[in-house]
């Protein structure tokens, strides 16, 4: 049966029975990535999927090769990998070929080098900011250098003791903002090319694989001849820096929830450092600035939100200081 007919039948009947989830279902293509699917992930995926089917049906009407790209985006720890894997599994169970692609394979640098580049940009931009403000001197750098050696120089608390430190933090934050999630950090062109090839009906596509060490970077040729739904799970899935996404799905979270999850996963070193906290805050800002494009938004509690409801929720969480 043609995939459009399969989906039309479900959408018209408004009946879809979620399948049982085996202990180990296929997941994204990030080397070494582990997913732990819990009850909350299944509940969220079950909430999303009927709505996704409706969006897919609308997209298929305009798709020459019956190919659809959807993204599951959100902060680290919000459950992107788990929910993307479940959506892919649900499509495959319906007889609609689906594949989960991890956007984390596409930064220009492997994680440890990219983390170092982020920190370098923050520190260089911070010093330049002080010079621009006319307040940098060697005595102050001695203080800064001590904080750097302690890996604590992104700590906003230092500005209470040293008012001039605000300039350091402001300059560093601005520099980091101009790097995170941009084409300087990520190979958006490569992902856009993959989406374009997929939509044109190319049967076999080379996909990047990136681990966490120098020797863990290679390409695999993936057969897409029977794949109609490409699910991209990625923090930057809804970014303005690339084209080709049909259905962006936003999973909402707060930086605090993201940090707590990273600590639990122990994904990398210094997960609770002030610098990591700053990175998470900036990523959250990016997600919020792109939220208006999402076709589906799911709250941290698993509630489907309109964009207006999302804005109100964010405003309430920040004490009425949220700006669209």
Sheet with 98-102, strands from edge to edge, namely 98-102, 229-233, 68-74, 247-251, 296-298, 304-305
Which pLDDT belongs to residue 23?
83
Which pLDDT belongs to residue 263?
65
Which pLDDT belongs to residue 314?
84
Which pLDDT belongs to residue 315?
82
Which pLDDT belongs to residue 267?
52
Q: How far apart are CA 311 and CA 285, in angstroms?
A: 13
| Residue carrying the six token digits 């109100």 | 312
DSSP 273: S
Dmax over CA atoms of the chain, in Å, equals 74
Which pLDDT belongs to residue 258?
66
Which stretches of the chain drop beneath a pLDDT of 70?
1, 254-271, 320-324
Is the Cβ–Cβ distance between 246 and 59 less than 8 Å? yes
What's this model's pTM, rounded to 2 decimal places? 0.92
Which pLDDT belongs to residue 259?
62
What count of residues does the chain have? 324
Q: How far apart are CA 252 and CA 298, in angstroms?
A: 6
Q: Cα-atom radius of gyration of the chain, to the nearest Å?
A: 21
Kindly give, in sequence order, each residue whose CB lies less than 8 Å from that of residue 292, ignoring residues fewer than 6 positions away: 307, 324
Q: Are strands 247-251 and 296-298 parallel, antiparallel or unpaired?
A: parallel
Which pLDDT belongs to residue 255?
58
Which pLDDT belongs to residue 320?
61
| Residue 284 C-beta-side C-alpha neighbours within 13 Å | 19
Dihedral sign of CA atoms 240, 30, 251, 235 in order: negative
32 Ramachandran zone, left/alpha/beta (phi>0; psi -120 to 50): left
Q: Are strands 296-298 and 204-210 parallel, antiparallel or unpaired?
A: unpaired
SS3 305: strand
């Amino acid at each position: 049966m043609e995939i459009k007919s399969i989906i039309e039948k479900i959408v018209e009947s408004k009946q879809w029975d979620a399948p049982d989830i085996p202990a180990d279902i296929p997941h994204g293509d990030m080397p070494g990535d582990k997913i732990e699917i819990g009850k909350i992930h299944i509940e969220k995926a079950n909430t999303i999927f009927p709505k996704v089917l409706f969006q897919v049906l609308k997209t298929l009407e305009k798709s020459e090769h019956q190919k659809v790209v959807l993204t599951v985006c959100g902060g680290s720890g919000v459950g992107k990998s788990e929910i993307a894997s479940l959506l892919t599994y649900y499509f495959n169970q319906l007889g609609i070929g689906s594949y989960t692609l991890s956007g984390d394979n596409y930064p220009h640098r492997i994680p440890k080098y990219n983390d170092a580049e982020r920190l370098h940009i923050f520190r260089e931009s911070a010093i330049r900011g002080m010079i621009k403000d006319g307040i940098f001197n060697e005595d102050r750098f001695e203080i800064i250098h001590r904080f750097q050696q302690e890996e604590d120089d992104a700590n906003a608390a230092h500005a209470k003791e040293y008012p001039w430190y605000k300039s350091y933090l402001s300059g560093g934050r601005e520099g980091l903002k101009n790097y995170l999630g941009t084409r300087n950090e990520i190979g958006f062109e490569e992902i856009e090319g993959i989406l374009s090839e997929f939509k044109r009906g190319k049967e076999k596509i080379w996909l990047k694989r990136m681990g966490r060490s120098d020797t863990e970077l290679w390409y695999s040729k993936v057969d897409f001849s029977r794949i109609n739904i490409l699910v991209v799970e990625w923090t930057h899935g809804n970014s303005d820096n690339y084209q080709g996404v049909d259905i962006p799905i936003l999973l909402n979270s707060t930086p605090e929830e993201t940090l707590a999850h990273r600590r639990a996963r122990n994904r990398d070193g210094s997960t609770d450092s002030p610098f990591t906290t700053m990175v998470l805050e900036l990523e959250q800002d990016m997600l919020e600035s792109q939220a208006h494009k999402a076709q589906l938004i799911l709250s941290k509690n698993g509630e489907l939100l309109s964009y207006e409801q999302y804005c109100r929720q964010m405003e309430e969480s920040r004490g009425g200081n949220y700006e669209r």
